[in-house]
Amino acid sequence: MLPIALLPVAGLLLGIGGSFSNTTMLETYGLTRIMGPGTFWNALFTVMSQAGDIVFANLPILFAMGGSVEVEKIAAALEMKVESTEELLADMMEQYKKEDRGIQIVELEHAYQLCTKKEMYEYLIRVAKQPKKATLSDVALETLSIIAYKQPVTKAEIEKIRGVKSDHAINKLIEYDLVRELGRIDAPGKPIVFGTTEEFLRSFGVQSLDELPVISTVKMEDFKAEAEEEVQLKLDI
């Protein structure tokens, strides 16, 4: 396991080792006979440089990818076991929480992403200006709740629960990247099934669907009742 506390040490190894194994530097200061290729000191400083480089060469993975990266891919890139990689990431996550940093590592369904802490939002909008914020209507929230708890679910199943057409709500949720098409089921008409996205997990502050609160059958009946009221209001108008 590679704890985050090794990063300063890695920096020293890379800096010292790289400097004192550099041929140009050795020739400039007349140190070739003492520290040049083939000497004990050259071998030592070369190993120090390589050790530091191994650490820093693998750090940009999460930063460069932008989105989340599966732990298996991180482990393969680092040439480490998955278990060791998870321990490394857990150490980094804990260290980022303790230190006064503007970034954090979050876990999303066995994938990890480097992102900005919510406390930094006020500072970010001063640079990027006020971003467009998606506002979900009650209808969209009801539809999203059904998809989250019933996924994979078809539009017909959603509409059966709500009692009304849900095309517009589903399209809005897809536009906001909270819902996506998961494929089609082997049934007449091969209907599309929907499920939630990683953006949904990020937006609602959960790492996996298992962390969603348990929803009762009574609540589902409330959804139906609200949908029926919605239909009645439209008919009265």
Task: Single out the residue in 91, 109, 131 at which a domain terminates.
Answer: 131
6 and 70 housed in the same domain: no
**Predicted local distance difference test score (pLDDT) of residue 171:** 92
Considering the domain architecture, whether residues 48 and 89 belong to the same structural domain is answered as no
> What's the whole-model pTM score?
0.45
**What is the structure's pLDDT at 3?**
42
Note down pLDDT in tens along the chain; length 237 residues: 344 444 454 455 545 555 666 777 667 777 777 777 878 777 776 766 665 555 554 455 555 555 777 888 877 877 778 888 888 778 778 877 776 777 788 888 778 887 877 777 777 777 666 555 567 888 899 899 999 988 899 999 999 888 888 899 999 999 889 999 999 988 888 999 999 999 899 888 888 888 887 766 666 666 666 666 655 555 555
Query: How confident is the model at residue 134, as a pLDDT?
Result: 62
Contact (Cβ atoms closer than 8 angstroms) between residue 196 and residue 134:
no
* pLDDT computed for residue 197 by the predictor: 92
User: Domain of 171?
Assistant: 138-236
Helix (H) or strand (E) segment spanning residue 128? helix 121-128
Residue 68 has a pLDDT of: 78
Residue 154 belongs to a domain with what CATH number?
1.10.10.10
pLDDT score for 105: 80
Pairing of strands 69-70, 153-154: unpaired
Eight-state DSSP code of residue 5? T
